[in-house]
Structure 1
Amino acid sequence: MVVGQTFMVTGQAFADSSDFSWVNKCIEDNKTQGQEDSVVIAYCSCMNNKMSSVETKSISAWEQSNPKEAKECSVQAGWQG
């Protein structure tokens, strides 16, 4: 568990402010989906990591045209339903 937490903190250290904005918007967009907060955060972070750094779409818009990545992140995050 400590390794995962260390990785997460290290990963966040390299994220820029736009990453945080995209992830926070995704969390807001998905807050009514009936998932645990940790699942939504993991999903949104995964999706953000799969997107190009020059992407202009929000995560929620990008997932619509990238169903393979959305499915991968759903599984990785433990999304139920």
Structure 2
Amino acid sequence: MKFALLLAVALCAGCSATAGSSSADDRRWINQCLRDNRDARVPQSVVRSYCSCMNDRMSSNETRSITQWERANPRAREACERRSGWT
């Protein structure tokens, strides 16, 4: 129970930090990432946190989708998986 509460607080903190500062372009990439991971067997809030984390790590000049970029950047993917609670 304590872990679940801490995880929920961490996820909410991560979401609020990115939600207010994201541009329309960021939201478009994050929404595409959410669609790409719609069959993931984790809560939607975890996927959203993961996608936001990955988007934050990408350059604003990046033209690849988050899904494409994560394949070329496994360390960033692993860090965002841990941060979001995916793993």
TM-score bracket relative to the smaller structure: 0.7 to 0.9
Which 5+ residue runs of structure 2 have no aligned equivalent? 1-7
TM-score (norm 2): 0.80
Matching of residues 1-80 of structure 1 within 5 Å: 5=12, 8-9=15-16, 11-80=18-87
Counting matched residue pairs gives 80
Work out the percentage of aligned pairs sharing the same amino acid: 38
CA RMSD of aligned residues (A): 2.2
Structure 1 residue 12: Cα displacement = 2.4
State the one-letter code of the partner of 2:82: V
TM-score (norm 1): 0.85
